[in-house]
Chains A and B, each alone.
Chain A
Amino acid sequence: MPEALILSDLHVYHGEICAVRGLDITCAEGAVTALLGRNGAGKSTTLSAIAGLLEPRQGHIRLFGTALEGRKPESICKLGIGLVPQGRRIFPSLTVEEHLAIAYRPPRHAAERVFDIASVETLFPRLKERRRQLAGSMSGGEQQMLAIARALVTNPRVLLLDEPAEGLAPQIVAEVAQAIAALKADGLSILLVEHNLPLALRLADTCVVLSSGEVAWRGAPNILADDPALMAQHLGVH
């Protein structure tokens, strides 16, 4: 499989704090790459840097061969990165419809699947019911669905998902997981950060575990799932 996204020797700082130190990660096209690790390991920092919200101090980010580092977030979005950030960050004063209208951009590359407002409403029927509602007044689950839909209608080539199941009721988690599985089945390349391990391991094709901003382990999800000692060591779970 060709590489969709390559991070090489990536260093990212928050002021003087070095949160990501020398990451090398490759996301294969059409695959789900799970980025795991304890709180504070540097997962969100990595995604923010890819999306251009933080500027890397060193290293490279390449999307299908195009360098992303140092570009503005809006340019990176146009080149094909879709971000679903931690905490959802929906716009409270916009309706569902307005979120999708300002984010929508037809694809500029030969895409297997084109996302428009109708197709994300098919993926998340609740959003259709809430079209005219202000996003700030919706439930957490609905906001999460909107955050995913908002990223999808930019027609990204790689989707970055930062803890999409965080703080959601089990039934909503199942709905969101089903949607992510559907996106994967459609061939979308996904970089997934998720603390819900069963969910992450079920969706992932490959796993990368971060610890203190460095890669601590990488491999297939079933190896991690079958090795409780390994999980305990890197993720603090049993």
Chain B
Amino acid sequence: MAFWISQSLNALALGGLLFMLASGFSLIFGLMRVANLAHGALFMLGAYLGLAVVKAGFGFWVAAASAAVAVGLFGGVLERTLLRRLAGRTLPQVLLTLGLAFIIADACLMLWGGDPMRLPPPPELSGAVRIGDAVFPRYRLFVIGASAAVALGLWLLVERTRAGAMIRAAVDDVGMARAIGVSASTLFTAVFCLGTALAGLGGVIGGPILSVYPTLDQDMLPLALLVVILGGAGSLIGAFVGAYAIGFIYTFGQVLVPDLAYVILFLPMIAVLSVAPQGLFGRRLG
């Protein structure tokens, strides 16, 4: 029993981190039709920046906030200066974001070295709590709560505000949205900033669990892609359901059948895609 509870909590924590990564990726893809393959690298960049801020003595919360802002601004600059020039050209965009992912990863390696580093959780969240007869790290409970709060905030933004309605309108039909006065340029930059800031934030929040190491991006990006394929691109609900589904499948796959962990990860994907090629909550994107 203790095993199931504690692994379920692990799965929820991983699912929450995947949501922070995949929700931004999915929003960007739905709105701009750009598969931002640098998203995993921006997650890792957030983790390293957070670590640097913590090492400089500013504490975990300052690290989380500043990494999110810095990565978000960096994302906005990338969109304005590079991606924008390739609007509507899928292959050049894929190559560009893939190239950016390599550059960011190499820059991190150069700046911070190749050794895995631990990002310490804030002191008030260290230690463990008992849940039934399971003992569970307090920080992981925080991750579960924080990612749920991020999901709720994002949902309120997209579903309950005028700006969110503009985003959904542009996901549905960007030409028509522009023809009624929605500024595509502003919207694209804002969503790119938001999506990349979430990736940066996820990197810091995930740091104490995943630790920070040079191939963190390569471990995270495929999981985020799976989330988006499973849930459907451009759908926040899809990213939410997909993230927690992958969180559970990956966590239990690793502990129960470690040899088949990847098979178990991809089988449900094939099953879903064969019945719903758009993903569970995806719409046919024009």
Chain A positions near chain B (C-beta within 8 angstroms): 51-53, 72-74, 76-78, 82-83, 85, 89, 91-94, 98-99, 101-103, 105, 150-151, 154
Contact = CB atoms under 8 A, between A and B. Distances in A.
Interface residues of B, number: 20
Contacts of B182: 74, 102
Nearest to A83: B179
B181 A105 contact: yes
B162 A101 contact: yes
Nearest to A85: B176
A91 B169 contact: yes
A92 B180 contact: no
A150 B180 CA distance: 8
Main secondary structure of the interface of B (DSSP, over half): helix
A26 B241 CA distance: 54
A101 B182 CA distance: 11
B89 interface: no
Contact of A102 (B171, B173, B180, B185): B180
B168 A53 contact: no
Given A53-B175, A72-B178, A73-B178, A102 B169 contact: yes
A229 to B, nearest CB: 38
Interface in B132-167: 162, 165-166
Contacts of B173: 89, 91
Given A73-B178, A91-B169, A91-B172, 20 more contacts: A52-B178, A73-B175, A74-B178, A76-B179, A77-B178, A77-B181, A83-B179, A89-B173, A89-B176, A91-B173, A91-B176, A93-B172, A94-B168, A94-B172, A98-B162, A99-B169, A101-B165, A102-B177, A103-B180, A150-B180
A99 B177 CA distance: 10
A94 B169 contact: yes
Given A91-B173, A93-B171, A102 B162 contact: yes
